[in-house]
């Protein structure tokens, strides 16, 4: 997958008949990337398409966008993925510039640790990522706690020299307040990913959202679907939780040490309270062998990697807030 977020039309798959295209679009599957990240079983059950035909289509979609199969070292070298930075020096240094696009990121920690604040950083920085048509990417935010705050987004955007008003306008907020919202969100999410260049999907928090699933057993399939969409579309997903996200062993996969599915989660960040305005963050990139830890400082404008930059930038943000009475 290239370094830019992209969408490939279903018409780019000549083996896909027009009547099948119409059936897929009715499900919200309107691009090759989303088709590649879909389950053949779901396609078959919802479209009356034979299962073997649905399997062939998903396999063909993956081949069309270059996922799966054997690749030479030279081919892998060309696949430079864009990175989603945080704007926080010690974190971005550890990540080599940021999270790789198409990742699933777990943010974990107790109440007031700063999980939603970190999501706000990512929601601002995601809008700096490149798209193949030059448009500004959007962010989809599923709020199951009622903790989304436009003011925080504006503070961070101003600190990062972005337009605060335009930044919040590029965030699609979905309030998760009733049963069925999370199941219905999969189809809605697919339509959003197809219609707009979405760089990031925030689910804050996953465990709070789970109570709105029709059945708890849906969790395994839901998280697995996020992983497939991340891989095929290049969209990153960040999920928050106070405790490890346990997935039933009946899914046929083993737990890693945190209780998450290691085959789905690419990065695990754990925030620890260290005072009113200080946090420690333990960072794990599952593609490396070592963890890393750094200290963060909280002020107007979000997280900072050191006290001096917090003091300087926070004052600048405060002046902006007073001028705009935000």
Tens of pLDDT, residue by residue over 217-260, are 456 667 777 888 888 888 899 999 887 765 443 333 333 344 44
In a shared domain, residues 74 and 91: no
In a shared domain, residues 282 and 319: yes
pTM for the whole structure: 0.78
In a shared domain, residues 255 and 148: yes
CATH of the domain at 32: 1.10.150.20
User: Rounded to the nearest 5°, which phi and psi values hold at 24?
Assistant: -65, -40
Domain range for residue 100? 83-324
CATH of the domain at 155: 3.40.50.300
In a shared domain, residues 181 and 303: yes
Q: Give the range with max mean pLDDT: 65-69, 78-82, 153-157.
A: 153-157
Q: Identify the domain boundary among 48, 80, 112.
A: 80
Q: Identify the domain boundary among 47, 80, 113.
A: 80
In a shared domain, residues 45 and 93: no
Tell me, what's the pLDDT at 212? 65
Tell me, what's the pLDDT at 195? 67
Count up the domains in the chain and report the number: 2
Q: Identify the domain boundary among 60, 80, 100.
A: 80
In a shared domain, residues 102 and 245: yes
Residue 271 has pLDDT above 50, yes or no: yes
User: Rounded to the nearest 5°, which phi and psi values hold at 257?
Assistant: -65, -20
Q: Give percent of the chain above pLDDT 70.
A: 78
Gap between the Cα atoms of 202 and 196, Å rounded: 16
In a shared domain, residues 61 and 96: no
What is the mean pLDDT of the segment spanning 77-82? 56
Q: Is the peptide bond prior to 42 cis by the omega test (within 30 degrees of 0)?
A: no
Q: Which of 17, 12, 67 is nearest to 38 (CA)?
A: 67
326 confidence band (pLDDT: 50, 70, 90): low
86 confidence band (pLDDT: 50, 70, 90): very high
Tell me, what's the pLDDT at 93? 92
* Sequence-distant (≥ 6) Cβ neighbours of residue 47 within 8 angstroms: 20, 23, 24, 26, 27, 54
What is the mean pLDDT of the segment spanning 84-88? 93
Write down the mean pLDDT value for the chain.
80
């Amino acid at each position: 997958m290239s370094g830019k977020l992209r969408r490939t039309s279903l018409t780019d798959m000549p083996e896909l008949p027009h009547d099948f295209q119409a059936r897929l679009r009715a499900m919200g599957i309107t691009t090759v990337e989303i088709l590649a990240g879909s389950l053949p079983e779901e396609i078959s059950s919802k479209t009356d398409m034979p299962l073997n035909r649905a399997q062939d289509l998903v396999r063909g979609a993956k081949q069309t966008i270059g996922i799966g199969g054997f690749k030479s070292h030279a081919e892998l070298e060309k696949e430079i993925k864009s990175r989603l930075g945080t704007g926080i020096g010690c974190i971005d240094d550890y990540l080599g510039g940021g999270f790789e696009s198409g990742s699933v990121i777990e943010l974990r920690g107790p109440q007031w640790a700063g999980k939603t604040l970190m999501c706000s950083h990512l929601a601002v920085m995601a809008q700096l990522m490149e798209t193949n048509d030059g448009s500004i990417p959007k962010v989809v935010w599923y709020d199951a706690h009622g903790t989304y705050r436009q003011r925080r987004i504006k503070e961070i955007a101003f600190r990062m020299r972005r337009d605060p008003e335009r930044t919040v306008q590029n965030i699609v907020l979905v309030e998760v307040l009733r049963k069925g919202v999370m199941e219905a969100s999969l189809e809605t999410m697919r339509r959003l990913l197809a219609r707009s260049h979405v760089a990031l999907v925030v689910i804050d928090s996953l465990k709070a959202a789970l109570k709105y699933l029709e059945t708890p057993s849906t969790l395994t399939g839901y998280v697995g679907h996020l992983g497939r969409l991340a891989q095929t579309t290049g969209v990153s997903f960040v999920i928050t939780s106070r405790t490890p996200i346990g997935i039933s062993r009946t899914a046929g996969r083993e737990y890693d040490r945190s209780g998450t599915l290691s085959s789905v989660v690419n990065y695990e960040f754990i925030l620890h309270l260290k005072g009113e305005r200080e946090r420690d963050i333990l960072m794990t990139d599952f593609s490396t062998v070592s963890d890393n830890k750094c200290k963060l400082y909280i002020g107007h404008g979000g997280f900072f990697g050191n006290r001096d930059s917090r003091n300087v930038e926070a004052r600048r943000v405060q002046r902006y807030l007073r001028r705009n009475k935000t």
